[in-house]
Each structure stands twice: as C-alpha cells, then as structure tokens.
Amino acid sequence: MFELSREHEAFRASVRDFATREIAPHVAAWDKDHHFPTDVVQKMGDLGLMGLTAPESLGGAGEDGDFTSLCVAIEEIGRVDQSMGITLEAAVGLGINPILTYGTDEQKEQWLPDLVAGRALAGFGLTEPGAGSDASATRTRAEMDGDSWVVNGSKQFITNSGSSVTSVVTVTARTGTRENGSPEISAVLVPSGTPGFEVEPAYDKLGWHSSDTHPLSFTDCRVPADHLLGERGRGYAQFLSTLDDGRVAIAALAVGCLQACRDMAVEYAGDRQTFGGPIGRKQGVAFQIADLEVMLRASRLLTYQAAAMKDAMDRGASGAPSMAAFKQAASIAKLYATESAVTGTRIATQVFGGYGFMEEYPVARFYRDAKILEIGEGTSEIQRMLIARGLGLPVE
C-alpha cells in the first residue's frame, strides 16, 4: 500500500490549518464578487508554498520540498477553494518551473526570487483561439529584429496573467520553419507592462471565479533577445514536459475537490432527516456516497504514486521509473481524478437535493468549479490518446 511520509502528512496538517484560517472564511464572498485576493498569494509565499520545488539559493525549500509536497499543498488549498488551488498550481507549475528548468542563471536571478516569495506571479501563454490541444498550430510569432524579439499574436485562457502582481508571462511562439515544413516553436519571456503587450478584460467564467484568467494580445511587442527561455526551437518540447508535471498537479486539485465533496456529503447525509431518520440510512444515498469514497481513494493513490515517480526521477534514485512510465502515470492520474471530481460533485449535489442548487451551499461552487478540471492541462480525450499510445496502439 502506498502511503505518504510522516513529513508529508505533517506538512499537510500545516497547509490545512492555513487554508482553514486564511481562505475558508472568505471563499463565498470572493466567489460572488469574482475577487482575486493577491494578499493570499503573498501569504502562500510566506508559508513557503510557492518555493516547494525551488532551491534554497532562490528562496525555495531546497531539500525540504519536492513535487509531492506541492501536490499535497494544492490538494489542501483546493479542498477549501479550487480557485486558490489553481492559482497555486499555475504559479508554481506554469510560472516558476519553466524558468527554473530552462532559464539561464540571469533569468532565474531576475524573476524567481519574487515569484518564489509570492511577491509576484508569472503566467504561461500557450493556448490560442485556434491552438489548444493542438499546440503545434500556434500562430503567435516572434521574429528577431536587431537585438530584440518582436512578438505578434494572441493567447487565451491564461491563468495568473493579468493580476496586479503579475510580473512576466512565458509565451510560446513560432520563431521559424523547420526543413520538414513544421513550425519552429520557442518560448519567450514577456514582462508585464511591455509596450504592445495588452492584457484584455478577465473572463466571466462558469467556475474558478476567484482566479485570474485573461486573454492576451501582442502587437509589435519588443523584448530583448536574452528573454528567449531555453533553446530556440525547443519551446514545444519544453511545454510538453511542463504539462506532464501539470497533469499530476491538476489531479491533486481534483483530489481536493473530491475530499471536500465526500466530507460535505457524509455530514449532510447524517444530519438531514426525512421519513423519520437521516437520509444516509437510505441505500440510494449511502451507496452513492460509497462510490464517492472509492473514487476519492483511487484518485489520491494514482496522484501520489505519479508524484512519487516524479520525485524519484528528479533525485536520480536507483530504480527510478522511465520518463515514458511517468508520462503514462501522469495521464492516468489526471484522467481518472478529474473525471471522478466531475462525477463526485454531481453526487454530492444530488445528496443535498434542492439545497445543492443554492449558491449559499459550497457544494454548488465545487460543482461549477469541477468541469474545467477535465479540460485544462490536456483534455480527457487527449489523456486517453496518450494512454493508448503508451500501450503501443497507433491511435491518432
């Protein structure tokens, strides 16, 4: 049986205490007002949550942190508020980690101290109106002009991209054409406030009301040549690696959603009285909650097994899994946990009956928030395709 270490469980308790004190009392109001609480971003930084994958030299946790710790933190924050859970996931997985993994020493020193401390946020501009699951269809371009990259194009659904504390967005763009005719895609760091970089009004979303999500546009946006992130032409490969980790992190967010719904459903089914007793004694209700518990346990196991694989690879541990095995585990965890979260929120809402349809009950918010989990960081359809390919099937 797979279990987290005592250190991870102690860390879980500290994050749960933080989420209960600093987030839970305000979630309903933030959700109603579509308010993005930048002060909580700073507090998460103060607690060390933004630096769980970063070295001590940059203000991070160093050997005291790992990818599993990040997943624990995302789960516990997401158990209280999915909006703040995705804010943390994107801040680290999509904002910090690409710079940490592919950045030069100068880029790391320029951007990471503030990002790790929670004083700033970074976004990752990948998705476009015509390029989502098919990221190779990217139309945004970056062309060299003298000693600068000139960026033109647009991005959509970009998290942490337009807040008052956003400092930079990593943008994938075509920087040329390969000999075989395929696009050469690279990643470029575009600082907030750069002329030609416009953050458009925030989306009016179905869920995640308290997260920061914007479309972005670039019109002759000029950044220095040294703002290229990683090798020229390796942007596509870099983003694929970033998404592998992100899929496990999104699975952790789904586990938090499932845990919240399981807890609410059990409590309500024990308290709500009908026909002379609690509704939890009715098999029609009890069996649905039992199914929810099975989905929760399986999702958590798949998620943390994948996270442990990632940590073993990062440590270079003896017997560490192959990259192919990790990719397969990441897709399986993401697929199962996110689809379970959508089903689990439906079950919990049904248990609550008419009250579940009322915004004053948190289960309604989790129901709205869950759907995007099946879409972001690779849709369920993409995960099934990747899993099938991992089995050796020639699926297109």
Question: Do 54 and 152 belong together in one domain?
Answer: no
395: in domain: no
Same domain for 112 and 51, yes or no, is: yes
Question: How sure is the predictor about 1, in pLDDT bands with cuts at 50, 70 and 90?
Answer: low
Same-domain pairing of 308 and 247: yes
> Of 72, 90, 120, which marks where a domain is finished?
120
Q: How many domains does the chain have?
A: 3
What is the distance between the alpha carbons of residues 21 and 11, in angstroms, rounded to a whole number? Answer: 16
> pLDDT-based confidence at 134, cuts 50/70/90?
confident
**Which CATH number belongs to the domain containing residue 205 in this structure?**
2.40.110.10
241 and 199 in a common domain: no
Residue 137 pLDDT: 87
Whole-number Å distance between alpha carbons of 305 and 298: 11
pLDDT 10s digits, 189-204: 999 999 999 999 999 9
Per the domain annotation, does 68 fall within a domain? yes
pLDDT of amino acid 396: 84
> Measuring CA to CA, which residue among 331, 345, 341, 344 is closest to residue 377?
331
Average pLDDT rounded to a whole number, residues 199-227: 98
Residues marked active site are found at: 377
pLDDT (0 to 100) of residue 305: 97
Query: With bands split at pLDDT 50, 70 and 90, how would you rate the model's confidence at 340?
Result: very high
**Residues 48-84 pLDDT 10s:** 999 999 999 999 999 889 999 999 999 999 999 999 9
What DSSP line would sit under 232-300, residue for residue?
A: TT-HHHHHHHHHHHHHHHHHHHHHHHHHHHHHHHHHHHHH-EETTEEGGGSHHHHHHHHHHHHHHHHHH
Domain co-membership, 279 together with 164 = no
Residue 186 in this model has a pLDDT that exceeds 80: yes
| DSSP-assigned letters across all residues of 32-48 | HHT---HHHHHHHHHHT
- Is residue 73 located within the same domain as residue 186? no
Q: Are residues 214 and 132 in the same domain?
A: yes
Tokens 């007002």 -> residue: 33
pLDDT tier, 132 (very low <50, low <70, confident <90, very high otherwise): confident
Pair 88, 226 in one domain? no
Looking at the fold, whether 170 and 201 belong to one and the same domain comes out as yes
Is 1 inside any structural domain?
Answer: no
Query: Does residue 177 form part of some domain?
Result: yes
Amino acid at 184: E
- Res 233 pLDDT > 80: yes
pLDDT at 135 over 80: no
State how far the Cα of 123 lies from the Cα of 197, in Å rounded to an integer: 13
Among residues 191, 207, 232, the one where a domain terminates is 232
Residue-wise pLDDT for 70-126, tens only, equals 999 999 999 999 999 999 999 999 999 999 999 999 999 999 999 999 999 999 999
Q: Which residue range(s) make up the domain with 78?
A: 6-120
